[in-house]
Structure 1
């Protein structure tokens, strides 16, 4: 049996307090007919009001990043235990924007992932190649290195989620063809089988310009168990439409 599908909304650095609340209300009002798991990851400052609105909903909460320490002199950082305290289930780690603009390497992401798991969070670890790497035929190599370098040792299928996001597809409305995605996801599953005894049950998400009009087609790719959704998660109608297409 395939693992239960998961759709994650990454709000990135968008919304304000009022619009965040309105979006959550619109999602929770219409989520009853969705059979798969839904998670939303607001900016840190809106986690509490969103968490309160989700308290009686089946939609779960996630953070967009975390530190690898429980506490200490780390101005501006968020400990994984703080995310748990606010009701988070997931945390996104290693997103290409963190890797690129914050110079986060595999070792940093692995350290954060260990801390997240220790605190009781499920890290959604992002991997993916740039356009230059794709053109050079290095996509499989890049993804291999990122997974082996970013995942903690001795994980099981309950510990992590992997999100494949080709960097060149994020926010571009340009997605790889189904054969390309299937090849990458099958390669990821093979890598995970070297690391984890129940790799077949680790959920693999696709991210990068996921929209309601391409969600069903994306789900036809091999080894896809859901999606990491960016801009389309900022509209309740689009986010729920993607979830319905992937149910």
Structure 2
């Protein structure tokens, strides 16, 4: 079964009502193939507004984070129910910035993933290694450790999209070559097949999340195990449409 091309746009802590309106209107008027899935992830305060603007059926809205409780005394957090209530369909979990700056460890990410899936949203699960880990030849050790934590909590991966984000490439202008990405993605899929079975692994989408942009996205086109992108800074720019159309 062919895997549907998936492009996520992580706006991070960027944007205003005006800039988000411009981004969504650009998507609404762009020629986007029917066989592509686009998820934009604005700051939480703009989720409701973004949902109200989207007109393309291929485009949905996701959150950048969610907590693992439905409600309670958790100041500053957003629940999955709240995210769903405004019409968002996805949540990004395990992003390297959450792991690094907010000290979210593998177990916490796994617990949040289990909770979010149980509440009925899709999860874009981020995994990846630092420059030091890459230099030490530990890339696969790191991503398998991160995945194992989630595998202990989650048995049904139907609504999971994995995003491999080499931490050393994010925001640095550096990028893995398409060949490097393909090799790592293939290894990730092989590992997941050993845990979940060939069918589940063959259907699961694995995104590349290391400084993808309008210029380099097309170079990944022929890589069988690169099923799309999780885009950072470029998702705020007109070139985001070029990334979405890079499989055409």
Q: Which residue of 2 aligns with 1:195?
A: 195
Partner of 2:26: helix, strand, or coil?
helix
Q: Deviations over 1:168-218 (max 9, x none)?
A: 000112111223212210111012113323111001000111011110112
Matched, 1:153 2:154: yes
1:7 has 2:7 as partner: yes
Range with bigger deviation, 17-26 or 107-116: 17-26
For 2:48 and 2:176, locate their aligned partners in 1 and report how far apart those are by CA, in whole Å: 36
Q: Are the equivalent residues in 1 in contact too, given 2:28–2:55 (CA < 8 A)?
A: no
Map 1:146-225 to 2 at 5 A. Answer: 146-151=146-151, 152-156=153-157, 158-197=158-197, 198-225=200-227
In 1, distance between residues paired with 2:59 and 2:118?
23
- Distance apart, 1:141 and its partner CA: 0.5
1:133-144, aligned counterparts within 5 Å? 133-144=133-144
- In 2, Cα distance between the equivalents of 1:207 and 1:11? 13
Which residue in the other structure is 1:242 paired with?
243
The CA deviation at 1:221 is: 2.6
Residue matched to 2:229: 227
**2: CA distance, partners of 1:76 / 1:22:** 28
Alpha-carbon distance in 2 for matches of 1:94, 1:208? 15
Larger mean Cα displacement after TM superposition, 218-227 or 36-45: 218-227
Unpaired stretches in structure 2, ≥5 consecutive residues: none
Distance 1:42 1:9 in 2: 8
Q: In the alignment, which residue of structure 2 is the partner of 1:103?
A: 103
Cα separation, 2, equivalents of 1:41 and 1:218? 23
**2:182/2:223 contact within 8 Å kept:** yes
* Preserved contact between residue 44 and residue 63 of structure 1 (Cα < 8 Å): yes
Q: State the aligned residue count.
A: 245
Structure 1 unpaired stretches of 5+:
none
Does the 8 Å contact 1:226/1:246 carry over to 2? no
Does the C-alpha gap of structure 1 residues 76 and 227 become closer, same or farther in structure 2, counting only changes over 3 Å?
same
Contact 2:176 2:210 in 1 (8 A): no
**Residues 4-49 of structure 1: CA deviation (Å, up to 9, x unaligned):** 0100000000011221122211211114445411110000000111
**TM-superposition CA deviations, 1:118-137 (whole Å, max 9, x none):** 11111100001100000001
Equivalence for 1:17? 17
- Alpha-carbon RMSD across the aligned residues, in angstroms, is 1.4
State the Cα distance separating 1:55 from its structure 2 match.
5.3
2:36 maps to 1:36: yes
Distance of 1:241 and 1:219 partners within structure 2: 13
